[in-house]
Amino acid sequence: MMTLWDLLLPNRRARRPALTPPAPARPRKKVVAPRAGAMQARYDRMTEDMLAAYGVRVRKWRTSMSGIAWEIRYRDGTVRRLIEAPRPRGPMSAAVFLHEIGHHAIGFTTYKPRCLEEYHAWRFAIDQMQRLELNITEGVRRRMRLSLKYAVDKARRRGLREVPAELHEYARPGG
């Protein structure tokens, strides 16, 4: 079968060298991410430490700045703690990752209503970022505010009558 290259280079087949066995594979150098450095090393260390400390497994590293945390309880009493979150590479992805870890750290049945659980998961994330001296940007704080406003509004739509005291600043007036 002729290809476009055969038309462009008619003598291509004639010039092709005889097949030779491939050269032995050289050990590859470790591919370093473009943002590798001291800060990325801190994010990587924090990620490993948090996953190990709370017994969480990452089901999927997300490319978006969203996440989910859940646990599976088996009949024999085994509990699997899982998250999907972005891999921490900057302040926002670290905050979302820590927020999802926060759900496991505080426990899924500790706080009711659900919007209060969201508040404590965000507090966990911000507290851990402060403890680890990670940069907490205005974007991270804005994301937390918008997320909590959304959680409170959703709870109200679903029939929440009394907003917990911790969430008053996120409750829209007249809602």
The long-range contacts involving 74-80, CB below 8 angstroms and separated by at least 24 positions, are none
pLDDT at 174 over 90: no
pLDDT at 32 over 70: no
Residue 166 CA from chain centroid, whole number: 25
The tens digit of pLDDT for each residue in 74-102 reads: 999 999 999 999 999 999 999 999 999 99
Q: What are phi and psi of 62, to 5 degrees?
A: -85, 150
Spatial distance between the Cα atoms of 53 and 45, rounded to a whole number of angstroms: 12
Average pLDDT along the chain = 89
